[in-house]
Amino acid sequence: MKKYIIPLICYTIILIVLVNANTITSFLSQKISNNPAITIEKGDIYTKDYDFAYVQNSKDYIPYSYQDLINIFYSVLNQGWGEFTFYCPNEYKDCLSDYDKIMSSPIVLTHINNYVHPYHTIKNPLRASRTDSGEITIHVEYIYSSEDIKAINDYVDKLINDLYKKEDDDFKNLQRIHDYIIDNTKYDIERNETGNSDYKSYIAYGPAIEGYATCNGYADLMAIILTKLGYENYKIGTTTEDIKNESLGHVWNAVKIDDKWLHLDLTWDDPVSSDGKDYIHHKYFLVDNNALKKADEGDVKIEAHNFNPLYYQEFKNY
């Protein structure tokens, strides 16, 4: 009887191997090439399905270059994921050193974050970990709470319903929205000067619900509205890399209208006046690069809009 059992066991093993040949081959191939299978989940409703010149949605989440790594970081944030693990392939020798460059550069991460929907804005610093074998895990915490999002969305829906008219062009509709926000929002001087405030002025909740904003709050609220209306858009930021005075770090909006990218800056169209009165300007409303530079001209040198075209390439040629 024993002489039949061993051949039977061998035959069974061979049969199992043959039936599962593709699975086993795929598993071994992944281990040998250091490309384990990656679990890809669907993004949430705030995921942008279009690409930009600086960042694009990753196709397979396997990096072969520094740009691929940038795209993976962007895509994880764009999808709204809380955690994601990917792997450096053997072919990409500088993968871990390039990853270290990104993680050691908060300015790069800031610019990447400017492209995602405001509800996917991360809490700084972004946490990530890696192993010497090339396994990289990104851990994400987002600034906006579900309560914030609900309140802001209710505000935005009402604002659009009241102010956006289908018979009017982009300029008229967006100017009405621009003016309404400025008319009903004050710049949060206290947060700007001390870093502290009673208001959530650094996110869209401030201007939408509390009536106070810093440049981040203005830009976030406008980005949420532009996205809701179907405009391709992102935020532009200047950092200490671009300007001399650290206090002049700034952020505003970029929006694509009629196939052309334009600047839109609510903060600088809502000046803080010495007489305490509220004023509305339109110097920074839907302007191109030349008009932006012209608006900054004057007795006082303005550096706030000296953005780096490396990160915002839609504006580099005009």
pLDDT 10s digits, 145-194: 999 999 999 999 999 999 999 999 999 999 999 999 999 999 999 998 89
Q: What average pLDDT does this structure show over 251-265?
A: 97
For the chain, give every domain's residue range. Answer: 38-143, 146-313
The pLDDT > 70 percentage for the chain reads 85
Query: What confidence score (pLDDT) does residue 23 get?
Result: 41
pLDDT 10s digits, 271-302: 765 556 667 889 999 999 999 999 999 887 88
**Residues 90 and 33 sit within 8 Å (Cβ to Cβ):** yes
Fold of 146-313: C8orf32 fold (3.10.620)
Q: Which residue has the higher pLDDT, 40 or 17?
A: 40
Most confident of 212-226, 247-261, 291-305: 212-226
Query: What confidence score (pLDDT) does residue 149 get?
Result: 98
Query: What confidence score (pLDDT) does residue 318 get?
Result: 57
Ranges of H-type helices in the chain: 2-19, 21-33, 66-79, 95-103, 106-113, 146-163, 170-183, 189-194, 205, 215-228, 289-295
Contacts with 58 (C-beta within 8 Å, 6 or more apart), sequence order: 68, 71, 72, 74, 75
| d(C-alpha 289, C-alpha 278), whole Å | 27
Give me the chain's average pLDDT, please: 88
Q: What average pLDDT does this structure show over 256-283?
A: 85
User: Structure pTM?
Assistant: 0.87
| d(C-alpha 293, C-alpha 307), whole Å | 11
**Residues 51 and 313 sit within 8 Å (Cβ to Cβ):** no
| d(C-alpha 149, C-alpha 115), whole Å | 18
